Amino acid sequence: MMTKSSAPGKIILFGEHAVVYGRPALAIPVTQVHADVDVSDSSRAGIWIDAPDVNLHAELNTLPSDHPIASVIHNFLFLSRVSKFPNLEIKINSTIPVASGLGSGAAVTVALTRALAAHLDYSITDEEVNAFTYEIEKLHHGTPSGIDNTVVTYAKPVYFIKHPPSPDRKGAGGEVETFKVGQPFTIVIADTGISAPTKESVSDVRRLWMNDKSRWETVFDKIGEISFTARRAIEAGKPELLGELMNENHALLQKLTVSSLELDRLVETARNAGALGSKLSGGGRGGNMIALVKPKIAEAVSLSLKEAGAKNTIITQVL
């Protein structure tokens, strides 16, 4: 018997960093890239993991327990209370670039959790997958807001507001609202090719905030208003309004010191190539930027971004 599961990548449209301070953020699934997991019964003793993208071919118990993939399986074992796992063969493939803000870790966890649950007849709801993935994200990424696991679990655009920290709060990190897209729109995503740990930019922003809370709270408020307005524009079927909101959001992220020369160059390039607006996306300092485009110029904008140094681009439609 073989059980398969797949989960998409994601990208943040608005609200990164401010989301850590309780302001809303918007994110969408990116289905052009995905993590795919196959779980099958095996005649070989043990639980064998085959993840060629990260050069991993190993039996579970030979891996350190905090290994990102091993920790998902161990924690799932604990959650499902399966006393003894059968012999399994687990194949993990992902086309989501690692550490570039496309949610690769969350997607592997979601797909692996669902594939294991289905294979072992353990019934699990989306809410439980989301909460479980949030716990795994916390093991590897410090204090994530919860937006990654949420958008990847539901595979729909989400409007997300983080819960205030509380030791006894269970769940996936925040309030999630899915919303309707009034009219489809097109986004070009471009990767600077520079991997920049989100943890670092998040802690740099924290340092700024600690030194002058009222100044940075005002910036977070402005970003929160942008997310709120953007959601209304998307629901009302007026995606063209998102361009200016992206430009404003990018300027505020520059103030927060999380942009970089490379990101700024790609953001400018997209605008000069006819995009309606553009901004960095995710933790910043590297990783990805996004641009809102009319569908007919998507290819041209993508080409300009590559000429300006983007390592990879994805054109995605938000439906």
Q: Which residues are catalytic?
A: 148
C-alpha distances out from residue 150 to 155, 175, 196, 269, Å? 8, 10, 22, 31
Alpha helices, H only, 273-314 = 298-307
Amino acid, res. 41: D
Of 8, 9, 24, 144, the residue at the interface with ligand PMV (CB under 6 A) is 144
- Residue nearest ligand PMV (C-beta atom): 282
Angle at the Cα of 243 from the Cα atoms of 238 and 247, rounded to 5 degrees: 150
144 or 239, CB closer to ligand PMV? 144
- Residue 42 DSSP code: -
Q: Is 101 in the site for ligand PMV (CB under 6 A)?
A: yes
Which of 239-271 are b and which e, b meaning 16 or more Cβ less than 10 Å from the residue's Cβ?
bebbbebbbbbbebbbebebbbebbebbbebbb
Q: Is 19 in the site for ligand PMV (CB under 6 A)?
A: yes
Q: Is 153 in the site for ligand PMV (CB under 6 A)?
A: no
Of 12, 30, 276, 318, the residue at the interface with ligand PMV (CB under 6 A) is 12
92 or 223, CB closer to ligand PMV? 223
Minimal distance, residue 106 CB to ligand PMV, in Å: 8
Q: Is 145 in the site for ligand PMV (CB under 6 A)?
A: yes
Of residues 155-194, those binding ligand PMV (CB under 6 A)? none
Q: Is 283 in the site for ligand PMV (CB under 6 A)?
A: yes
CA distance 194 to 288: 9
Q: Is 282 in the site for ligand PMV (CB under 6 A)?
A: yes
